[in-house]
Amino acid sequence: MAIQTAAALHVDSEVGELRQVVVHRPGLELTRLTPGNVDELLFDDVMWAARAREEHDSFVGKLRDKGVVVHEFSHLLAGVLDTADGREFVLSRTTNEHTVGPQLVEPLRELLESLDGTALAETLIGGVLKHDLSLPAGSSLLWDYLVDEDFVLAPLPNTLFQRDNIAFAYSGVSVHPMAVPPREAFLGVAELVAVEDAVGRISCESIAGYPPGIPAILPGERMTAEISRYLRETLDSGGRLHGSSDPDFRSIHVLRES
């Protein structure tokens, strides 16, 4: 999540004419949905990918007929990945020992670095399956445990399943990666931890910095250092936090890890 605080406070209307929008056309990620992974990927059932694309194209066509400027997410991401800094920023955060395990970082990076921006964007959005890599048995315990259709690298969050994953506050943008369904986090077993220990944990709280009053984190999303810093800066600048169980933001309820 990246968000910047504007120098001066002001009020923006949440109701107005839609001028520009970012959309994502269903692609590789939907074809990789199976009965075995739909729950983990926050779906109720396997979707009909071809029909989803037809409905998406029809929707985008109607937006453009109304004069709305439509930006395709995959094209925007590909443009970022065609730059050296953008590619390193994305790959260092998606492919590291914490996300894929130390034994798989090198072969995954080798595969991903061999792709141009367009192909890399499609691969990151769709995820990397075991059979996409050519590694011998015994490469790691995880590798031997996985079957060919298991994800080695999970799809980018919120491209496979959209659920209020982005919000704009003044000149900044807040991106929320959903980790579990909100109901699971809201009704699950929570524990109270210090804010500095909550980074990487799944939030059970909905917290909005006021002003402007837009939620920075919701139940089911992972706390990041950027979100924590933004909420702390909101308090330090005289604002307040709506929804936080601790008005001073020294602690937060997170989902207990099994």
* In a shared domain, residues 119 and 243: no
pLDDT of residue 164: 52
Residue 8 lies in a domain: no
Better-predicted residue by pLDDT, 39 or 125: 125
Q: What is the residue-averaged pLDDT of the chain?
A: 84
* In a shared domain, residues 193 and 134: no
Which range of residues forms the domain containing residue 226?
A: 166-255
* In a shared domain, residues 85 and 172: no
Better-predicted residue by pLDDT, 172 or 117: 117
Which pair of structure tokens corresponds to residue 232?
Answer: 């702390």
Share of the chain above pLDDT 70, in %: 85
* In a shared domain, residues 142 and 28: yes
Task: For strands 172-175 and 166-169, give the pairing.
Answer: antiparallel
pTM of the entire structure? 0.63
- Which of 93, 118, 153 is the last residue in one of the domains? 153
Residue 10 lies in a domain: no
- What's 237's domain CATH number? 3.90.100.10
Residue 110 lies in a domain: yes
Residue 2 lies in a domain: no
Length reported for the chain: 258
pLDDT of residue 63: 94
Query: Angle 84-94/73-81 helices, nearest 10 degrees?
Result: 110
DSSP 8-state class, residue 164 = S
- What's 147's domain CATH number? 1.10.3930.10
Conformation bin of residue 33: beta by default, left when phi > 0, alpha when psi is -120 to 50: beta
Go through 203-218 and write b for each residue having 16 or more CB atoms within 10 A of its CB, e for each that does not.
bbbbbbbebbebbbbb
Residue 102 lies in a domain: yes
CA 228 to chain centre: 16
- The burial class, CB within 10 Å (0-12 / 13-18 / 19+), for 30 is buried
* In a shared domain, residues 134 and 236: no
* 3-state SS record for 210-254: ECCCEEEECCCEECCHHHHHHHHHHHHCCCEEECCCCCCCCEEEE
Residue 36 lies in a domain: yes
Confidence grade of residue 11 (pLDDT, cut at 50, 70, 90): low
**pLDDT at position 116 over 70:** yes
* In a shared domain, residues 130 and 196: no
- Which of 95, 122, 153 is the last residue in one of the domains? 153
The domain total for the chain is: 2
pLDDT of residue 177: 63
- Interval 126-150 mean pLDDT: 82
User: DSSP letters of 113-147?
Assistant: HTS-HHHHHHHHHH-EEGGGS---TTS-HHHHH--
* In a shared domain, residues 144 and 192: no
pLDDT of residue 80: 94
Residue 4 lies in a domain: no
- Interval 104-119 mean pLDDT: 93
* In a shared domain, residues 109 and 195: no
* In a shared domain, residues 27 and 113: yes
Most confident of 32-36, 37-41, 236-240: 236-240
- Which of 153, 179, 202 is the last residue in one of the domains? 153
* In a shared domain, residues 148 and 53: yes
**pLDDT at position 176 over 90:** no
pLDDT of residue 168: 62
Residue 1 lies in a domain: no
* In a shared domain, residues 131 and 204: no
| Token pair 């989902």 in the structure block, residue | 255
* In a shared domain, residues 37 and 127: yes
